[in-house]
Structure formats: structure tokens, C-alpha cells
Amino acid sequence: MKKILVLLLVFALVVPLAVACGNGGSDVNEGDGVNEDIDEGGDNPWAGTKITVILPDHEMDNIGLHRDKTLQFTEETGIEVELINKGWEAAADDILGDLVTGGGSYDVIEFDNAWIAKFIANEWVIPLDEFITPDIKSGLLPGLYNKFSVGGKCYGIAWNNDTRFYMYNDQMLEDAGLSEPPKTWDEVLAAAKVLQSSGVSDIAYLDTYKQEQMGCNELLFVIYSFGGELIDGSGNPVANTNAGVREAYDFLAQAYKERVFSPDALISDYEEVADAFFAGTFPLFLQAWPGVYADSNDGSRSKIVGQVSVADFSVSKTGAEQTVLTLPEAMAIPTTSQNKEAAWEYIKYMSSIEFDKERALAIGSLPIWSDLYNDPQLLALYPYWEQFGKQAQSAKGYPDILWVDDFADVVAKVSQKILAGNTTVAAGLDEMQQLLQDAKDNYVDE
């Protein structure tokens, strides 16, 4: 009896191992099957090839356009695609987790504008120059193409021209007796008082100053709009010496104190900000992504249909400076991909001018191809792109530094302290400077 028991135990141990090995083997067999398919198919070199793509959800794609287009890509090319779409933070965790543990899980990855220096220094992505045709190079928006190019090599092709614009609720401003949207930060302060006293809204705006990278995004916009920089041209922190930074934080601290923006900014994310705007809670959406306009006119989601306009300008210190935030996202091929050619086919397809136009028509996304900004069909559909063009005279994103994650972390955390008045602006900026300097000095990937 005991022998039988022991034999059963051994069996229980060996069988799962054998099955596991068998599964591994079956993958190989499937691979063999792929070769057979190719042999049988003959004329399709991609038949049976499978790639894995991980990209964050496109904030404007509420209709599953990217997924549908990916299916169409598979039908047309025969390249099977496992498309993984997640929220940005979750996708970033998966991508970074994979890359730091040796990679190999993905063939096409999200390549965020903030990651450029870090990914290239760590040799995590390959240059795409051998694949990029002259048409692509000359046709894409120069700013986007250059953003993902370092040392004369291009490492990513943009798929999301995520640039932010100033939009406002006409109706709410009119109800408060404001004839036009504020152009300078001082006017924002004044407008808040009018909105509060008229009972139209208890805040002028809500944004995300959350303790995450998205919070840092929006803080950077305010700093840029005051002509400030946290990092100088040599990559050194200048938080407590840059005049624009000081002015920006003086404004933010005052605005928090006077409830110009909602205290909930310290905890809200982009979605919550948009939802509050669509609910008619506040009139000024300082850095709205292009899809906000279309969504605000979608009655199933918004209570402010027909009330939103796009400004000719972005809010700034004097009204003369025009800066908007640009946070483009690209597709890149990891060094560890085993299917680089197939991966490029996917990138090429998903960044083609044809799909770019289709996407713009369907969801109102900003094109990545220069020619589409003169496309009569698109201009007729989106007349406010003219205002976008005026605002985007100077679009700025993250500084190109290797320690960008620490940078965003420090900025978001210390800023909350300053905003809430738990430290003075001067002391807070001194602390920020020290922490940024430490982060820079201590950065060794670890």
C-alpha cells in the first residue's frame, strides 16, 4: 500500500513536469507548424508570425479604433498581433518591469517622451533608421520625429500626438459676466473671484497636481508658462534659482489658498478632471487634450454640450508667451524583440498617413503627419484646429534627462507641500533643488 502511495506521489510530481515540458515542446511544434504554414502559403512571408504589442489606451479612443485597425492589420499581412492595452501607469509598469529583467516579452512597446534618454542609454530600444523611408522621415511632423531622435538616429515613431490646449466653458463665463477667457495668470486669479462672487462656480479650474507623473506634467506647464525651467541646458537642476519657477510657485500657492483651483487637484487624475469639466463644475480647462472638445459635445457623457470653445492662446504670465504641454507617445522596438521586421510592419501600418487621417476623422486625434493639417476634409470637420495651431507656437515636454522618473517624483511630492502652504515657496524650492540634485548625483540606474 505504501509503495503504491509513493508511486502515486512520484507520478504526481513527474506528470506535471512532463506536461510542462510538453507544453514547451508544443510551442516549438507550433513554431514548426508556422514554418509549414509559410511553406504552404508560399507567397506570404509573414504568415504565422506573431508579435506582442503593448501600448497604453489612447485617451480619445472610446470606440476601439486601434484594436479594430490591429485586426485589420492581421487580416492584411498575416502577422498575428497580441495587443495589450492598459492605462498608462499599468502599461509603464509592465514595460519597465520587462525591460529591467532582460526583456523579451514584447515586440512593439510604448516609448513615452519622458523615457527617451533613459531607454536609449540603457540600450533598451533599437534605432529604426534602417526601416524608415524618406517619405516617412519627411512626412511626419518634424517636432515629433526629432523628439524621438537622438544623435541622428530615430528610435520611435509617434502614434499619439498628445498635445494639450486651453479650452473653456463659454456659457459659464458668460453667466459670471466674463466676456472672454482669462489670458494671463493674474486674469485667472481675477476670474476666479468673479466666478465665486457670482455663484457660477467656486473654482476657476481643476487640474491634476497629483503625486504622480501626471501631476508633474501639469506643474511643468505652469512653470513653462511663466518662462521657467527646472533643469537648465546642461541638465542641472535650477529649481531655487530660476525666476520663472519662483513666480510659478508663488502663483500656485496663492491660487491654492484662494481656491482658484479645487483642492482636489492634489488627488485628482486626468479622467476625474475631465469628468468634472463635463459636469459643468468649472469653466477653464487649461491643458485639455484634443478629444475633450469632442467629448464635451457628447450628450451621453457631458452636461455642457455646445458650451465649450477653444482659445486662440494659452494662459501665460503676460499673455505674450505661448506654451502648451506636449507629451507625445511613440512606438518602439525593444532590443530583445525576436520579430523586429514584423514589429516594424506593425509600426509602419499604425502610423501610416491613411490610418492617421482615419483616426483623426473618427476620434478627432491630432495627426502626426504634416500634410493632414492642410487636409480640407479634416479642417472642415475640426475648424478649431486653427486655434490649436496658434496655441502650439511653443510646445514643450519633459527635459531629456536620464533620471526623469526621480525628477517627476520629487517635483510632484515637494510641489504638494508648497501648494498646501505647509512650507514657504522659497523653502520648498530649496528642498526641491536639494532633492533633485541628490537624485541626479545618485542616479546609476539604481
79/195 with CB nearer another protein: 195
Interacting residue with another protein among 57, 65, 86, 103 (CB under 8 A): 103
91/350 with CB nearer another protein: 91
Interaction residues for another protein, span 274-303 (CB under 8 A):
276, 279, 281
176/203 with CB nearer another protein: 203
Interaction residues for another protein, span 149-168 (CB under 8 A):
none
SS3 at position 86: strand
- Cα–Cα distance, 419 to 253 (Å, whole number): 5
Interacting residue with another protein among 187, 258, 400, 406 (CB under 8 A): 406
Piece of 3-11, 180-188, 283-291, 361-369 that binds another protein (CB under 8 A): 3-11
Task: Please report the DSSP string for 88-132 in residue order.
Answer: HHHHHHHHHHHHHTT--S-SEEEEEGGGHHHHHHTT-B---TTT-
Piece of 1-9, 70-78, 192-200, 360-368 that binds another protein (CB under 8 A): 1-9
Task: Report, in Å, the least distance between residue 72 CB and another protein.
Answer: 33
Task: Report, in Å, the least distance between residue 301 CB and another protein.
Answer: 14
Interaction residues for another protein, span 333-392 (CB under 8 A):
335-336
- Report residue 310: phi and psi, to 5°: -105, 130
- Cα–Cα distance, 41 to 44 (Å, whole number): 6
The letter for the amino acid at 328 is P
Task: Report, in Å, the least distance between residue 335 CB and another protein.
Answer: 5
Task: Report, in Å, the least distance between residue 253 CB and another protein.
Answer: 14
- Cα–Cα distance, 268 to 276 (Å, whole number): 10
Mark residues 28-67: x for contact with another protein by CB under 8 A, - for none: ----------------------------------------
Total interface residues for another protein by CB under 8 A: 50
Is residue 27 at the binding interface for another protein, with CB under 8 A as the rule?
no
- Residue count of the chain, please give it: 446
Is residue 444 at the binding interface for another protein, with CB under 8 A as the rule?
yes
Interacting residue with another protein among 44, 62, 85, 122 (CB under 8 A): 122
C-alpha cell at 331: 512606438
C-alpha cell at 121: 542609454
Task: Report, in Å, the least distance between residue 432 CB and another protein.
Answer: 11
258/264 with CB nearer another protein: 264
- Report residue 150: phi and psi, to 5°: -135, 135
Task: Report, in Å, the least distance between residue 9 CB and another protein.
Answer: 6
Q: What is the dihedral of CA 380, 385, 387, 393, to 10 degrees?
A: -140
Query: 85 has which bridge partners?
Result: 55
- Cα–Cα distance, 416 to 88 (Å, whole number): 22
Task: Report, in Å, the least distance between residue 230 CB and another protein.
Answer: 17
Task: Report, in Å, the least distance between residue 128 CB and another protein.
Answer: 16
Interaction residues for another protein, span 180-219 (CB under 8 A):
210-212
- Cα–Cα distance, 64 to 296 (Å, whole number): 19
Piece of 218-226, 375-383, 386-394, 403-411 that binds another protein (CB under 8 A): 403-411
Whole-number Cα distances in Å, 224 to 122, 217, 252, 356: 29, 11, 13, 29
Give the closest residue to 210 by CA, choosing from 218, 202, 222.
Answer: 218
61/409 with CB nearer another protein: 409
Task: Report, in Å, the least distance between residue 339 CB and another protein.
Answer: 16
With beta carbons less than 8 A apart as the criterion, state whether 120 and 350 touch: no
The single residue listed with the C-alpha cell 473618427 is 362
User: Which residues does 67 contact at the CB level (< 8 Å), separation at least 6?
Assistant: 83, 85
Interacting residue with another protein among 42, 102, 151, 299 (CB under 8 A): 102
Is residue 143 at the binding interface for another protein, with CB under 8 A as the rule?
no
- Cα–Cα distance, 178 to 308 (Å, whole number): 14
- Cα–Cα distance, 374 to 357 (Å, whole number): 11
Name the H helices within 105-242.
Answer: 116-121, 134-139, 142-147, 170-175, 185-198, 213-225
Interacting residue with another protein among 99, 223, 330, 331 (CB under 8 A): 99
Interacting residue with another protein among 266, 331, 363, 429 (CB under 8 A): 266
Give the closest residue to 388 by CA, choosing from 317, 301, 275, 287.
Answer: 287
- Count of beta carbons in the 10 Å neighbourhood of residue 275: 16
Interacting residue with another protein among 80, 264, 400, 430 (CB under 8 A): 264
**Using CB under 8 A as the criterion, which residues of the chain lie in contact with another protein when the complex forms?**
2-3, 5-6, 9-10, 12-13, 92-93, 96-97, 99-104, 122-124, 210-212, 262-267, 276, 279, 281, 335-336, 405-406, 409, 412-413, 416-417, 420, 422, 435, 438, 442, 444-446
